[in-house]
Structure formats: C-alpha cells, structure tokens
Amino acid sequence: MELGLRNKIALVAGSSSGLGEAVARSLAAEGASLVICARSKEKLEKVKAEIVQASSVEVLAVAADLSTKSGVEQVLLESLDKFGHVDILVNNSGGPPAAKFEDTTSEMWEQAANLLLMSAVNLTRGVLPGMKERSWGRIINITSIAVKQPVENLILSNSVRAAVTGFARTLANEVAEYGITVNNVLPGYTRTQRLDYLAQNAAEKNGISKAEAFQKWESDIPMGRVGEPHEFAAFVTFLASEKASYMTGQSIAVDGGFIRSLL
C-alpha cells in the first residue's frame, strides 16, 4: 500500500531507542525525511547512520532534553532551519519513575508533567502554524494503555498521560478544519528498555524473578505475548499517512487485547 509519506518531514521525539526509534525507522522506510531527537547524541548518531543506510532518506539528529523549554526550542530551530517545516509530529518520551502516590514528591510531579505533557504541548505549538498554512498535518502522541486502564505503581504516568489525552482530544476539534489530525496511540506491554525496567521493578516489589514478571503480563494478554516495537510502529506510520485522513481525536491501543473495556 502506498502511504503517501515520501518526502514528508517527520519529527519523532524520544527516537534514540524503543518505540520512538521503531517509529522513526518505519516512517523512513516509507520515504519520509526525519528529525530524530533525544538526550543521547551518541545513540542518535548510531540510529541516524543505520536509518540512512537502510532507507536513503535525509535525517537530522538533534541531542536535546525535551522536558525543558530550551531543549524543545533547540529541536524546533534546527528542524525548521534544515527542512523549513514539519508535516508529522510524533510526541514521545520515556516514562517517569514507577511509584505509589505516597512515595512521590512535588518535584517528581513537576518533572513528569514537563516530560510527558509540556514537551508535547511545546513541540505542537512550534509546528502547528506551518501545518495550518499548508492545510495538512499529523500530530500523534504516544501515550500508554494506562490512560484507559491504570497500571499499578505508575501513578505519575497514569495521571500525566491522561492529561495528554485531554489535550489531544480538544486540539483535534480545533484544527480539524485545516486538514490536521491529532491522535493518541496507546502501547501495551511492548519489548523495550522501559518494559525491562518495569519488570525489574515488579520483580523486586513482589519477590519474584524478572522472567516471572514477564510471564504474569503475558498471561494477562489475550495474544499470550508482549508486543514488538515494529508492530506498534506500523500503526503509527499508518496514522501519519494520507490513508488516515479521516481519523482524528482517537486514542487507539496496540496492546494484544490487554484492555478489556468496550471503548
């Protein structure tokens, strides 16, 4: 299927590893030029070299901390200087620490809000005017199954990612007339470094092995296994495409059936 992504410009946040990296690779495979960004310059340069070799697209790598306003401004400045505009924005970041409410501090809440919510708000603010001018754009937020079915011991993620959902759903109505779609994609248990961290945390908390933590999750997933990053990335790539032009304001899980709700 031709997705109409060739020569589009995609900015993928948190793309030095995990789901962000998988999304960047998938978009590049469809011919999109990329801005990849994360904190680690070394990891970004490695991903950039591999994508260029595999897909022969233009890739700009920007090392920046997107939880800070200055980091967002740096990414936007370099992106617009290089490409002139951004067609596709994928808001993504690592998750905040696992914790129960009484183990959190005010600083932890502020950090989580900056990492998950304000990074998405500020990146969107930077690319939206150009999307409106061209009457075309895709804004995709990578959130979590936690926004529909809260995950134990993840109160920071459960709370702040839900705020991203409210932001996106409201924005979707405001910009739909300009040919811009805004959607959220909810990864379930997917094989990433973040999942390894959560498995280790669950193992220590419950007095089990990391392998047993994985087995517990897999037993709760109808498909009987955790997901792979490329499976998640394939759906994000579809949402970024011309083919998804009539989908907006949605929060869609890629979770192997884990969420049990009807909606």
What does the block give as tokens for 55? Answer: 């897909």
Instruction: Single out the residue of 1, 2, 5, 58 nearest to residue 31, CA to CA.
Output: 5
Tell me how far apart the alpha carbons of residues 143 and 93 are, in angstroms, rounded to a whole number.
9
Can you tell me the distance from the alpha carbon of 189 to that of 209, in angstroms, rounded to the nearest whole number? 17
What pLDDT, in 10s, does the model give residues 196-245? Answer: 988 888 888 889 999 999 999 999 999 999 999 999 999 999 999 999 99
Query: What domains are defined for the chain?
Result: 9-188+228-254 (3.40.50.720), 190-226 (no CATH)
The whole-model pTM stands at 0.95
Check residue 24 and give its pLDDT. 98
pLDDT at residue 94, rounded to an integer: 87
* pLDDT at residue 203, rounded to an integer: 86
pLDDT score of 263: 77
Give the integer Cα–Cα distance in Å for 245 and 241: 7
- Nearest 5 degrees, angle CA 222-CA 22-CA 256? 5
Low-confidence ranges of the chain (pLDDT < 50): none
Query: What is the reported pLDDT for 50?
Result: 98
Burial class, 122, CB count within 10 angstroms (exposed 0-12 / middle 13-18 / buried 19+): buried
- pLDDT value, residue 174: 98
CA distance 89 to 13: 8
